[in-house]
Amino acid sequence: MHNKSVAELSKELESGKISSVELTQQFLDRLKSEDGKYNSFITISDEQALAEAKAADEMRAAGKATAWTGVPFAHKDIFCTNGVRTTCGSKMLENFVPPYDATVTANFKAAGAVCLGKTNMDEFAMGSSNESSFFGAVTNPWGEKRVPGGSSGGSAAAVAARLVPAATGTDTGGSIRQPAALCGITGLKPTYGRVSRYGMIAFASSLDQGGPMTRTAEDAALMMNVMAGFDTKDSTCIDREVPDYTATLNEPLKGLKIGLPKEYFSEQLSPAMEEQVRNAVREYEKLGATVKEVSLPNAKLAIAAYYVIAPAEASANLSRFDGARYGYRCENPKDLMDMYTRTRAEGFGNEVKRRILVGSYALSAGYFDAYYLKAQKVRRLIQQDFINAFKDVDVMMSPVSPSPAFVQGEKTTDPVTMYLEDVFTIAINLAGIPAMSVPAGFVDGLPVGLQIIGDYFSEARLLNAAHQFQQVTDWHQREPQ
């Protein structure tokens, strides 16, 4: 059963060939026997999962089932889960048990899905390799000692290793798409505001967005049907009708206009990676699409703008972790200031501290205009580039990452080199548009992702393009040994 997609498992449950309790137990057994190799989970919630599975079987018997009723999945450990600890990969929240559910969590519960537990992640979602987690690095199932990408590396590794059929992720600068690409799975970052951020622990509030991580585009569409929608508890959530994302998966691609941003096919991209991406684009031409070159002239400024804006927002969001209300507190503080400083020094890891320092500096008196305000102006230019490009094309296609999964420890001592891993993904977050990663080949035995970028609220079109590609290729079906 672990080799079946969400869509296939849903049909198995509907036919009565297996119960949700049996299916959940099979995945829990596999998870406990296999995850020692990958460290993809922080918390496995056995008892709650089996209780949810029993309730799902009762829902199905009563004729109240949805496509998700009884299907196991996992949450990235950034979504609050009532009664189940939510750590955000940090010592600061090592023992934090939320008294409420995130909206995304509540939506899956309402659909009858079964949550097996919480997946590992870079601390507070800050990282591109899943090596900054307090709970240890995650290993990519495709290569010993290879990183799975970050920050949603635990979700990506778990789906790739067939420990779960699907998992939630979050994307602030590429944190769904990059690990999806490095682990050979499908991942979608929706339009900013399409999925509620309520109960999703904040890193950078104007950039964060939850999304699905699955084996197939069809499964991603099924997840989006649950995740997307307006939420009054999130002031940034868009009040806009949600389509059935599965309804248009099988529409033909004849006449689809694809743009290739010339700035994303630069010297930063290895020739082997470029070859795989261009081969994927040729498959789209066979399906009836047309291809033209487009330009995003301000793309080269995205990394610099992002690493002012994101740390600035992080420094503000993470100021709440002070030892006074919840989370980690240092032992025997001498006074209030000692409690604040030692709690934060001991509770945060190096990457989080680095970003807090950069962000606090950028927001400080005398530097706000020179850094933060200027970065926001650059962000508007980047957004306008995408708006202009989409006047001529329906979607854009590019690499997701400049190279395949690298070796653990290879880039941890050089933060700038690590930040460049997101060179093809960050501009999408700054603009707030949707994009996804689809398996598109291999380089040196490691997966390569094709990035499909869309205009605002065009998730259905992206999923359609990805699904049609997966009907004529089998990259998404390949399994790590």
User: What element of type H or E holds 311?
Assistant: helix 302-317
Residue 385: half-sphere exposure toward Cβ, Cα within 13 Å: 24
CA 184, CA 250: separation in Å to the nearest integer? Answer: 22
175 is catalytic: yes
3-state per-residue secondary structure call for 241-286: CCCCCCCCCCCCCCCCEEEEEHHHCCCCCCHHHHHHHHHHHHHHHH
210 in Cβ contact with 168 (< 8 Å): yes
17 is catalytic: no
**Which pair of structure tokens corresponds to residue 470?**
């997966």
**Which pair of structure tokens corresponds to residue 305?**
């703008």
151 is catalytic: yes
Range 369-376 contact pairs with CB under 8 angstroms and sequence separation of 24 or more:
371/308, 371/312, 372/308, 372/309, 372/312, 374/308, 375/304, 375/305, 375/306, 375/308, 375/309, 375/312, 376/305, 376/309
Q: In this structure, what are the phi and psi dihedrals at residue 450, rounded to the nearest 5 degrees?
A: -100, 125
Catalytic residue (choose from 128, 151, 315, 458):
151
277 in Cβ contact with 397 (< 8 Å): yes
CA 462, CA 453: separation in Å to the nearest integer? Answer: 7
Residue 437: half-sphere exposure toward Cβ, Cα within 13 Å: 35
Chain-centroid distance of CA 114 in Å reads 19
Catalytic residue (choose from 76, 118, 189, 411):
76
CA 44, CA 449: separation in Å to the nearest integer? Answer: 29
**Which pair of structure tokens corresponds to residue 85?**
């600890």
**Which pair of structure tokens corresponds to residue 458?**
């065009």
Angle between helices 302-317 and 350-363 (to 10 degrees): 100
126 in Cβ contact with 355 (< 8 Å): yes
List active site positions.
76, 151, 175
